[in-house]
Structure 1
């Protein structure tokens, strides 16, 4: 087993590396190669307990995905995310359950609904991996990523409810609702506790290697403890990832530079293994297809696949239309209240009052047109959660062999079919609809101009204050050097130019002061970025790009400092 696991992992990473080199979607290529390899006689079976797969693979993948999600965008898109991550999962579970029960009554209605809960959620790994490769716009990726982060919690809660009913527990609808509420509250609470503790650790420990190691461990702890307390381990990991990712710009830059490549490598390893594992399950599916039931199993799988593909767009468009109608009513009510003087934008503590435009932005959802909804409707690839829960369900003692085999077969066919069918045709759909990778260039340019203006203003104020300190310590020659240095710092230039000017303008006697001055200037710029993000004036992903550039400047500064501090020969 250990050697098999190692060979599969190495082979999957090699295939993924080839796909990245050639510019192909790595998840799809790994799945196809694994499917082909499963026909080779000497390739051993790779069997892993479904519960173990969920508790080992899912936490780090979810945490990494949550770190990359913009919390500001997630919060703004929460109504859209909630409709897809909760209500669409419930609807898909019900429709698939009824269809499966009508085709195969021996499943029983609870068993059919269990199958519906298993195939209902699109997979976080699939959505993030394929969406990143396709270069989907931020507005679409935020919805898809957010949906895939919370729909697993809905699905796994439904799975527990129907598994308990199959085992003989007498549960009512209210019992199921209560279990879902407990799962959400406990899961989010545990995740936030872990997130706060990890963030405080990141703020106080200067060793990025230690922090990176803790970052790899805590998703497993949050997931396990939340599940042990009856909460959702998925929501615990997601809440922790969103909290840590939102506060990551406040930590030391070395921590950010250490963890970024660390999680990229972890994602490559885990995603490659996940999609290889999906493809290698084909022999088990063949074994479960007994000759007397193959026709019924294939009919059931085809019907469930069709239901999964159709329910999503048939729900998304009416739900979007209803949301737009409710949004117009909400805006009209707010405008009437403002006109009558009964309400106004209240200032937040320490911040200016919200403008009418900002209030309108808070009352509306991010705009998605019919083309965006078409992409979201077709981006419903299933993945590791569907297959792992199916394998876990096959071990339920209350299910007979035929029902457990049917669940595994259907889950495998739906997973592979959605991965290949939707994954391969999604780029074609995007091209046909002429959806650009990012159409927010004008808005980004305006935001960048505003940030640069505020940075210059804050920087000039900071430098004026520092010059007064220098005036009491240094002579006129040093003050002239300060003024020349300050002029280079505040003019509009590239980061490379500033780093080069810094190296050329370092007077040896006051080098430490210039380093402190430079770090203070970098700190001021970071604070401006955080303030613009918190005021919802700057997209969080754009802020992260600018923060990465500032981190590179500080790294260059520290590197030059280490060289200059070495004793001269």
Structure 2
């Protein structure tokens, strides 16, 4: 493909992303479903070139920033509290699902070597971080279930990739050692975490010295790729390195970034992640034609592979349900024996988590990386694509309905010690306490009367709101609705002054920024 054609294709894809996102919102569909479907349709439009994905390039471009974004914003306290449950899903469920898929595949294709069956299981077993993010952003889950799924999506790719590498090595060499596999996994994991921690710490030290908003934001863009590429160069887990770096950066950004950097950087990252997530699903859909051509055409897929692939997909889904229900049953048994440290998530919660296992770009990229002469490669490609289509299109469209229908209950640890209103009241009291010590000069004269009165009134109102939220809510909404109307009037007058030539561009931008901040604050207080 010529460079100009590639650029034109990228522009066309961007236009398609905007159109499909808009259509999905109007139709009430998850955007991932619309984008994947749109990509499939584009794949078969006459005149368009066949999309050939380079698996290594796809993973390097898309996976690090999307993992970084998830790690940056995850609730670290909840992540640590539920780490055992997350590891159960990210490692235990992946290993169990890989084994189930391998057994089913070998039963369907007895001539296929066990190593190839295991490789297929490793390809399709880990749910995808990108697919999970795309769907979970549109649903409301209890905190514990949300953390379990977010944490799983950050860590399970490492387990799946390690299993895949050992299965491929066993298939090519004919040798496999369980002790070597476990030792190799631990080395990859510990090494990846160490590299990520080093990159994250280096970023924190660097940002403290940059002193420029745009340099700080630009440096944050480099972190995910720096962690991932350095770890892969050292032959340790790039996935875990990126996650570790993201956790460190997300933890320290609150104290090393200024408010302006957070606003500008947050806006930039939001748009970048939106485009990358959307592009991933478009590329997955667009690559269907190339996958079908690789395995011999539609007839080969429908006649020789459709039924076995469907059975593998059903086994994959059943394995995840079995793991979830089995894990919950073990916790119930442990509690009956007197160990109360662990709590169940219940049948409804287990059902939701089991149904939320969507696959995506990692599954396809890993399938494409299977060596050309490896046994069962065509089956792996078709199965990988079928699993992505099946989980995203079926589970992605029904997950919201399932959550509303089952309404999984919140657990006790879903609730923090302080509510949002109580935290606001605590902040207001701290501000008043400082101001009361600074509002008077050395002779006892009040030098900040208006400031002291304003903050005292704010503290009084927030204290009242903690106990009278329901009664004060309507008045609060009316207040900020009025603020928003005043901001709109002020903005209209500002534009009029600029269009009439009475103020210059610099004044326009300065005053517009003030109005924007006031509007954002009003929306935040109202919500």
TM-score, length-normalised on structure 1? Answer: 0.75
Which SS does the other structure have where 1:471 is aligned? coil
Q: How does 1:394-409 map to 2 (within 5 A)?
A: 396-400=371-375, 403-409=376-382
Kindly provide the CA deviation profile for residues 104-160 of structure 1, in whole angstroms up to 9, marking residues without a partner as x.
234311011001000001111111111111233332221111111111000011111
Question: 2:460 aligned with 1:491, yes or no?
Answer: yes
2:29–2:397 Cα contact (<8 Å) kept: no
Change (3 A) 1:237 1:477: closer
Q: How does 1:534-545 map to 2 (within 5 A)?
A: none
2:345 corresponds to which residue? 368
Kindly provide the CA deviation profile for residues 472-524 of structure 1, in whole angstroms up to 9, marking residues without a partner as x.
2x883625455435534533258999xx9xxxxxxxxxxxxxxxxxxxxxxxx
Question: 2:440 aligned with 1:434, yes or no?
Answer: no
Change (3 A) 1:240 1:329: farther
1:476 corresponds to which residue? 445
Kindly provide the CA deviation profile for residues 165-184 of structure 1, in whole angstroms up to 9, marking residues without a partner as x.
22216331111111100111
Distance 2:413 2:328 in 1: 25
Structure 1, unaligned stretches of length 5 or more?
A: 333-362, 501-551, 560-569
Q: How does 1:84-99 map to 2 (within 5 A)?
A: 84-99=89-104
Counting matched residue pairs gives 466
Choose from 19, 24, 41 the match for 2:46.
41
Which SS does the other structure have where 1:491 is aligned? helix
Question: 2:82 aligned with 1:77, yes or no?
Answer: yes
Distance 2:196 2:515 in 1: 33
Q: How does 1:59-458 map to 2 (within 5 A)?
A: 59-168=64-173, 170-251=175-256, 252-287=258-293, 288-289=295-296, 294-326=302-334, 331=339, 363-364=341-342, 368-393=345-370, 396-400=371-375, 403-435=376-408, 443=415, 446-458=418-430
Change (3 A) 1:417 1:289: farther
Which SS does the other structure have where 2:141 is aligned? coil
Change (3 A) 1:148 1:482: closer
Deviation at 1:22, TM superposition (A): 5.3
2:58 corresponds to which residue? 53
Deviation at 1:250, TM superposition (A): 1.6
Kindly provide the CA deviation profile for residues 268-308 of structure 1, in whole angstroms up to 9, marking residues without a partner as x.
11111111111112212332145567533223211210111
2:469 corresponds to which residue? none
Structure 2, unaligned stretches of length 5 or more?
A: 463-475, 484-513, 522-527
Kindly provide the CA deviation profile for residues 281-340 of structure 1, in whole angstroms up to 9, marking residues without a partner as x.
2212332145567533223211210111100111101112212443565756xxxxxxxx
Distance 2:342 2:428 in 1: 32
Distance 2:397 2:403 in 1: 11
Kindly provide the CA deviation profile for residues 77-119 of structure 1, in whole angstroms up to 9, marking residues without a partner as x.
1111111100000011111112112222343110110010000
1:289–1:297 Cα contact (<8 Å) kept: no
Deviation at 1:26, TM superposition (A): 0.5
Distance 1:60 1:266 in 2: 9
1:5–1:46 Cα contact (<8 Å) kept: no
Distance 1:239 1:194 in 2: 9
Distance 2:417 2:300 in 1: 64
Change (3 A) 1:426 1:452: closer
Change (3 A) 1:88 1:443: closer
TM-score, length-normalised on structure 2? Answer: 0.81
Kindly provide the CA deviation profile for residues 162-211 of structure 1, in whole angstroms up to 9, marking residues without a partner as x.
12222216331111111100111011111111111222333443322212
Kindly provide the CA deviation profile for residues 444-472 of structure 1, in whole angstroms up to 9, marking residues without a partner as x.
695235424433443343223324xx412
Distance 1:453 1:327 in 2: 39
